[in-house]
Structure 1
Amino acid sequence: MGPHGNRRAPVHAAIDFGMAELRPDPARPRGWTVLVDDVPQSYVDLADPEYMHFPYAQELGRVVRLSRARRVLHLGGGGLTIPRLIAHLRPGTEQLVVDRDAALLTLVERFLPFDDSIRVEIEDARAAVEKAEQYDLIVVDVFVGAAMPASVSSTGFAGAARRALRPDGLLVANLTDVPPLAHTRIQMATIRTAFDDPMLLGPSAVLRGRRAGNVILLAGNVPMIKLGKHERMIRTAELAEFIGGAKPRLDEPA
Structure 2
Amino acid sequence: MECGGVREDGRVDAEPSVTLDSGLRALIRPDRWMPGAFELVVDGTPQSHVNLDDPSELFFEYIVRMGHVIDQLKQPGEPITALHLGAGGLTLPRYIHATRPGSRQQVIELEPKLVELVRSALPLARGASIRVRYGDARSTLDKLPDGLRGAVDLLVVDVFGGATTPPQVTSREFYAAGAAFLAPDGVMLVNIADGGLSGSPGAAFARSQGATLVDVFGSPDRVAILAEPQVVRSRRFGNFVLVGSAAPLPLEWMPRLLAGGPHPAGLLTGDDLRDWTAGAPVTTDANAQGSPDPNRSIFQRRLGG
Band of TM-score, shorter chain: over 0.9
Q: Which residue of 2 aligns with 1:212?
A: 237
Match of 2:158 among 141, 145, 149: 141
Aligned match for 1:52, one of 42, 51, 58 = 58
Gaps of 5+ in 2: 1-6, 197-201, 288-305
SS of residue matched to 1:43: strand
Distance 2:209 2:133 in 1: 26
2:17, 2:117 within 8 Å by CA — same for their partners in 1? Answer: no
Q: List alignment gaps of at least 5 residues for structure 1.
A: none
1:113 partner amino acid: P
Residue 138 of structure 2 contacts residue 174 of structure 2 at CA under 8 Å; is this kept in 1? yes
Separation in 2, partners of 1:191, 1:3: 44
Cα distance in 1 for residues equivalent to 2:131 and 2:28: 21
* Alignment length (residue pairs): 252
Contact 2:195/2:232 (8 A) holds in 1: no
Residue 247 of structure 1 pairs with residue 247 of structure 2: no
Tell me the CA shift for residue 26 of structure 1: 1.9
Match of 1:98 in 2: 108
In 1, Cα distance between the equivalents of 2:143 and 2:208?
25
**1:194 and 2:216 equivalent?**
yes
Tell me which residue corresponds to 1:125: 137
Q: Equivalent residue of 1:181, what SS?
A: helix
Cα pair 2:16 2:117 within 8 Å, conserved: no
TM-score for both structures, normalised by structure 2: 0.78
Counterparts of 1:151-166 in structure 2, within 5 Å, are 151-166=168-183
Letter in 1 for 2:152: Y
Displacement, 1:230?
1.6
CA offset at residue 127 of structure 1?
1.7
**1:130–1:161 CA contact under 8 A, matched in 2:** no
Task: Name the residue aligned to 2:20.
Answer: 15
Larger relative strand fraction: 1
Moved over 2 A (4+): 1-4, 128-132
The DSSP-based 3-state class of the residue aligned with 1:62 is: helix
Query: How far apart, CA to CA, are the structure 2 residues paired with 1:25 and 1:110?
Result: 17
1:31 aligns to 2:48 (yes or no):
no
Identity %: 35
Q: For residues 29 and 264 of structure 2, what CA distance do their matches in structure 1 show? A: 30
Instruction: Give the superposition deviation at 1:192.
Output: 1.7
